[in-house]
Copies of this chain bind each other. A is one copy, B any other.
Amino acid sequence: MKNAIVLFSGGLDSSTCLAIAKAQGFRAYALSFRYGQRHEVELEAARRVAAHLGAAGHLVLDVPLGTIGGSALTADIDVPKDRDVSHMDEGIPVTYVPARNTVFLSLALAWAEVLPSADLFIGVNALDYSGYPDCRPEFVAAFEAMANLATREAVEGRLKISVHAPLMRWHKSRIIEEGMKLGVDYGLTHSCYDPTPQGLACGRCDSCLLRKKGFEEAGVKDPTRYSE
């Protein structure tokens, strides 16, 4: 059984991604980050879901993206609400966090060398998304190419790093359908960018709107607890 590392926020996408890695036969380790996100409550969801899905381990790392700022998720900038879900990928909104997936994958790569694991999973999606550049297939391919030149285990031929993005070309509804087949309890997951202190979802940020649309289109009752 091979090890995989799954970037894991405890949201809808990364929870599905972890279930997929397990279904593909990997021993799946979850990797989460406390990066100064205003929705740090997602880390509680991450712990719940990692246990629910039977992750082989769950590492939470502190990363100072809040010190760098430049995003509505880590600095004192309002999270946009009620945007048009069918045009969300036109332009990159202020919820974009500078170089976030690059930083997260880099730390996953460091762990991969030690664990060891040749397989990194990331739940990015370039269909129902906010247009973030580091969610696109060309980014994932470029990161993988770089990773295989960056590390001792790759250069010495012991690991050929693969970055898997199984959700890349799925609509949110399909992500939900596949996850439900694999037994993901989406009621445990957290996607909202701007939750109440109790962890209730706002229902109006990009992440909530995309998630709502996914449940609607999948014809599945939305288990999310909203604040209004």
- By a beta-carbon cutoff of 8 Å, the part of chain A in contact with chain B is 59, 61-65, 67-70, 92, 96-103, 106-107, 109-114, 132-134, 136, 138-139, 142-143, 145-147, 149-152, 154-156
Contact = CB atoms under 8 A, between A and B. Distances in A.
Contact of A152 (B64, B67, B110, B133): B133
**Total identical chains:** 2
Given A102-B106, A106-B103, A152 B68 contact: no
Contact of A61 (B59, B67, B96, B133): B67
A98 B102 contact: no
13 contacts: A63-B63, A65-B110, A69-B114, A70-B110, A70-B113, A92-B155, A92-B156, A97-B110, A98-B109, A99-B107, A103-B106, A133-B152, A139-B146
Chain A, interface SS category: helix
A62 B64 contact: yes
A98 B151 contact: yes
